[in-house]
């Protein structure tokens, strides 16, 4: 059995003391690849360092997280795009990017602009997106729609590639799920929330989301699944998500692992 954790920040300081054990435990749990979404300018080096230490196991993406947008965001994006222009770049996707109005709408326009620019990278460099959304479902859907290929007139940088990727940490309603599934080349990223006792996500998934549209993720060090809830999350715990999905869909754990891994590789073809 092989599982792909499609969203894990194990390059972070929280793991500095025991990263070797964290990776070992992930492998023991059946994880055979971990995707590492970038956050900001400072996280690029530790992320790439971890990928160099575990080639063929850890894979980096590049992008600026909406919560990390500050006054210098244009310079940060310019520096990131320079890396993408190198045809030998190691990045398997653009992320994590998106909109987050949970704490503040102060940088509403900057977040929208940065998101749009980074969607253009996905098209121009032919990479999948990892999209983070919090308290911004409507706005996020509108931006992705406006950049989608059937809306090419609005897409300033014309390109033959299509938008693909993951709606990371999905935990919305049936209606929201349907809206996201309408983007035919996107997966829903399912993590620890699905294991929480009061979560409505199991019902939403069972009724609305086929297993062939799901990838699994931890979002380590956050969002640890039951029975680790409240603790530091790590990639090994993605197994608890896979087990919960097996229960929800009434299939074996290894079937969930296989289908979600195939979905992940289909979406991130550079992760080979």
DSSP letters of 205-259? HHHH--GGGEEE---BTS-PPTTSTTSPP-GGGHHHHHHHHHHHHTS-HHHHHHH
Distance CA 25, CA 19 (A): 10
Q: Which is nearer to Ni ion, 196 or 254 (CB)?
A: 196
d(CA 257, CA 247) in angstroms, rounded, equals 13
Binders of Ni ion: how many residues, by CB under 5 A?
1
Minimum distance from CB of 178 to Ni ion (Å)? 24
Our CB check for Ni ion shows the closer of 5 and 219 to be: 219
* Closest among 259, 247, 217 to 235, alpha carbons compared: 217
Both structure tokens of 23: 């990776």
Least Cα distance to 200 among 180, 176, 181 occurs for 176
d(CA 23, CA 58): 9
x/- map, 28-67, Ni ion, by CB under 5 A: ----------------------------------------
Asked if the bond preceding 43 is cis, omega within 30° of 0, the reply is no
The CA distance from 159 to 142, in Å, is 20
Closest approach of Cβ 160 to Ni ion, in Å? 29
The footprint of Ni ion on residues 206-235 (CB under 5 A) is 219
Of the pair 219, 234, the CB lying nearest Ni ion is at 219
Nearer to Ni ion by Cβ, of 249 and 268: the residue is 268
* Interior angle at CA 34, CA 18 and CA 80, nearest 5: 100
Q: How far is the CB of 220 from Ni ion (least distance, A)?
A: 9
Q: Which residues pair with 54 in a beta bridge?
A: none
Site string for Ni ion, 125-164 (x = CB under 5 A): ----------------------------------------
Q: Is the backbone peptide bond immediately before 104 cis, with ω within 30 degrees of 0?
A: no
Q: Which helix (H) or strand (E) holds 58?
A: strand 58-60
Nearer to Ni ion, 176 or 219 (CB): 219
Q: Least separation, in Å, of the C-beta of 159 and Ni ion?
A: 26
Q: How far is the CB of 257 from Ni ion (least distance, A)?
A: 21
Nearer residue to Ni ion within complex by CB, 221 or 249: 221
Supply the minimum distance, in Å, between the C-beta of residue 219 and Ni ion. 5
Residue nearest to Ni ion (CB): 219
The crossing angle, in degrees rounded to 10, of helices 201-208 and 174-181 is: 50
CB of 34 to Ni ion, least distance (A): 13
Q: Indicate the residue among 119 and 148 with the shorter CB distance to Ni ion.
A: 119
Question: Applying CB under 5 A, which residues contact Ni ion?
Answer: 219
């Amino acid at each position: 059995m092989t599982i792909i954790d499609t969203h894990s920040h194990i390059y972070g300081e929280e793991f500095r003391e025991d990263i070797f054990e964290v990776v070992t435990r992930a492998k023991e749990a059946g994880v055979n690849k971990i995707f590492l979404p970038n956050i900001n300018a400072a996280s690029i080096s530790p992320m790439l360092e971890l990928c160099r230490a575990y080639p063929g196991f850890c894979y980096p993406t590049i992008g600026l997280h909406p919560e990390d947008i500050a006054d210098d965001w244009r310079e940060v994006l310019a520096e990131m795009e320079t890396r993408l222009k190198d045809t030998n770049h190691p990045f398997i996707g653009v992320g994590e990017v998106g909109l987050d109005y949970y704490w503040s709408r102060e940088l509403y326009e900057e977040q929208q602009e940065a998101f749009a620019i980074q969607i253009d990278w996905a098209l121009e460099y032919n990479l999948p997106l990892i999209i983070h959304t919090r308290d911004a479902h409507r706005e996020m859907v509108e931006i992705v729609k406006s950049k989608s290929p059937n809306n090419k007139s609005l897409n300033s940088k014309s390109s033959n590639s299509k938008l693909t990727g993951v709606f990371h940490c999905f935990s919305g309603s049936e209606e929201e799920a349907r809206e996201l599934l309408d983007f035919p080349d996107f997966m829903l990223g399912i993590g620890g929330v699905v294991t929480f006792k009061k979560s409505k996500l199991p019902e939403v998934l069972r009724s609305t989301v086929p297993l062939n549209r799901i990838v699994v993720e931890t979002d380590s060090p956050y969002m640890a699944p039951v029975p680790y809830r409240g603790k530091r999350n790590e990639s090994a715990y993605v197994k608890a998500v896979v087990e919960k999905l097996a229960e929800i869909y009434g299939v074996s754990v290894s079937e969930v692992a296989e289908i979600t891994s195939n979905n992940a590789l289909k979406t991130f073809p550079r992760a080979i």
